[in-house]
A = this chain, B = another copy of it.
Amino acid sequence: MDSFSIEKPVRYYDQVYNTLREMIVQGDLKPGDSIYEARIARDLNISRSPVREAVRALEKEGLLAIDEKSRITVYKPTLKDIVDIYECRMVLESLAARLTTRLATAQELQNIEKTVIDSKQYLDVEGERNRQALIAENGRFHELIIKYSQNRRLKKQLRDLHSLSHYFRTLNFQGENREWIVYNEHQDILAQMKRRDEDKAAFMMNKHLETDLEHLKEIFTRYTKE
């Protein structure tokens, strides 16, 4: 009897929200692209009501922008926006590193370590496939640290900030041996967490994101200057 479970029908507006969000974060919808709720509703064979609600949520989240004429576009950050976002990320993710250093169990630290170890194997080999895997593994490193911080609000805030800057995460691995730098910094942070030195862990996380930002700035100006 227990094996039966009634599924509540998933609301359309939740599905639309998740779908659109995914499309934006995954890059199927690019920054600046126009969105038409009428069109989306038609494509999905539903009415506009659920779509509108999803759009309102995504706008509040910052992923969609609605101009004064009600035109909807995918959020396209300026360089200043990216700096702003990163400044916030730096302090919040430092906090996450601090809390996790303080609270994480040995097992949890091991889970974090695993992402570092695993990412190592992708470093030596070339190829698009490996690059994607590496990016995913690096993302996981940050995710876990946030997760183990045990601060719900922090998770929410950083989730939003991440999705806002996700577009650039892919760009982040261009140039010199950027992957190695990231790898080393992750290792450093982990080391401090294992030593339970929360001040240092927070500090290194801050620094890590700062170099990230510096690198992004370059990429950005190079990219938009053509």
A contact set with B: CB distance below 8 Å: 8, 13, 49, 52-54, 56-57, 59-62, 68, 80-81, 84-85, 87-88, 91-92, 94-95, 99, 151-154, 156-157, 161
CB within 8 Å for A56 and B88 given contacts A81-B153, A152-B81: no
Bound CA–CA A62/B160 (angstroms): 13
Chain B residues with CB below 8 A from A52, complex form: 49, 53
Q: Which of B13, B84, B156 is within 8 Å of A153, CB to CB?
A: B84
**Can you name the residue of chain B whose Cβ is closest to the Cβ of A69?**
B8
The A contact surface, by secondary structure, is helix
State how many angstroms separate the Cβ of A47 from the closest Cβ of chain B.
Answer: 11
Quick one: copies of this chain in the complex?
2
The 7 residue pairs across chains A and B that have the minimum distance between CB atoms: A84-B153, A91-B91, A60-B60, A53-B56, A56-B56, A84-B151, A57-B60
Bound CA–CA A81/B150 (angstroms): 11
Cβ contact within 8 Å between A56 and B13:
yes
Q: Can you list 14 A-B pairs with a CB-CB distance of less than 8 A?
A: A49-B52, A56-B56, A57-B57, A80-B152, A81-B153, A84-B152, A84-B154, A87-B154, A88-B92, A88-B154, A91-B92, A91-B94, A153-B161, A157-B157
CB within 8 Å for A153 and B88 given contacts A49-B49, A68-B8: yes
**Can you name the residue of chain B whose Cβ is closest to the Cβ of A82?**
B153
State how many angstroms separate the Cβ of A159 from the closest Cβ of chain B.
Answer: 12
Cβ contact within 8 Å between A95 and B84:
no
Interface centre among A8, A95, A153, by most B CB within 10 Å? Answer: A153
Bound CA–CA A61/B60 (angstroms): 7
Bound CA–CA A88/B157 (angstroms): 9
Bound CA–CA A59/B151 (angstroms): 19
Bound CA–CA A62/B68 (angstroms): 25
Q: Which of B53, B54, B68, B91 is within 8 Å of A95, CB to CB?
A: B91
Chain B residues with CB below 8 A from A68, complex form: 8
Taking A85-B153, A88-B153 as known contacts, 8 extra A-B pairs with beta carbons closer than 8 A to each other, sorted by chain A number, are A13-B56, A53-B53, A60-B60, A84-B154, A87-B99, A87-B153, A88-B92, A153-B161
